[in-house]
Structure 1
Amino acid sequence: MSEVIKQLDVSIMGREFRVACPENEEATLLQAVQLLDGRMNDIRNHGKVIGLEKIAIMAALNMTHEFLQTKVEGGIDIASFQRRIGNMNSTIDAVLNEQPELF
């Protein structure tokens, strides 16, 4: 069985991008877009870095550094757990929506 791939239009720092993602990962992708957009706007607003490309590189470098510290210090892959928890929540919601009133 193949995964359904969706095309999503997202906005990062006022620029529109079309990205593909598996249908079941749309929410996670939108969270990533929101996080990246916020980080890039923070860098731009502090006025130390000029130019979209440099801002993107600095945001990527900062986020990658945080990710590596989390993985090394915590010994677990938090992003993987967040995805798994999100998938479990979606499954639970789907099952509950199929049920008549439970209480």
Structure 2
Amino acid sequence: MPQVVVTIDGKTFRMACAEGEEDHLASLAAEVDGRVNELRKSFGEIGDQRLVVMAAIMATDELSEQRRRIAGLEAEIAAAFRDRDEALRRVAADERRFVAHMNEVATAIETVAGKIDGRA
């Protein structure tokens, strides 16, 4: 299992990850490090653990918001599929009515044509 050494808030950590995930893990650690540094600039020295906890809570809040947005988008997609299915059912019903009407018109034309041929 590959290991990656990451630095967060000036401290290094050796982390294990799945094969091929090394760059992703390093990128995530860099993002956490950036958040901790931003918080340190905003709040000063309030303790390493507290900064890391605040960064984790901020990241979790963003994740929660994205999950909420995804759920909303999934609901919109499901509604769009239901609307599409209903529209397709209406189109199919309209097509059946149109074909039936055209058959009636064709029958009427044939009847008229037969009467005209009979008189000629």
TM category, shorter:
0.5 to 0.7
1:39 partner letter: R
Verify the 8 A CA contact 1:43 1:49 in the aligned structure 2. Answer: no
> Over alpha carbons, which structure has the higher Rg?
2
Provide the aligned length of Structure 1 versus Structure 2: 72
Shift of 1:15: 0.4
Hey, what does 2:107 align to over in structure 1? none
Using the size of structure 2 for normalisation, the TM-score is 0.56
Hey, what does 1:27 align to over in structure 2? 23
Hey, what does 1:86 align to over in structure 2? none
Greater shift in the superposed pair: 45-54 or 30-39: 45-54
**Of 50, 70, 73, which residue of structure 1 is paired with 2:69?**
73
Shift of 1:58: 0.3
How far apart in 2 are the matches of 1:39 and 1:72?
A: 22
Q: Does 1:43 align with 2:16?
A: no
Q: Which of the pair is proportionally richer in strand?
A: 1
Q: Which of the pair is proportionally richer in helix?
A: 2
How far apart in 1 are the matches of 2:32 and 2:38?
A: 10
Displacement over 2 Å in runs of 4+: none
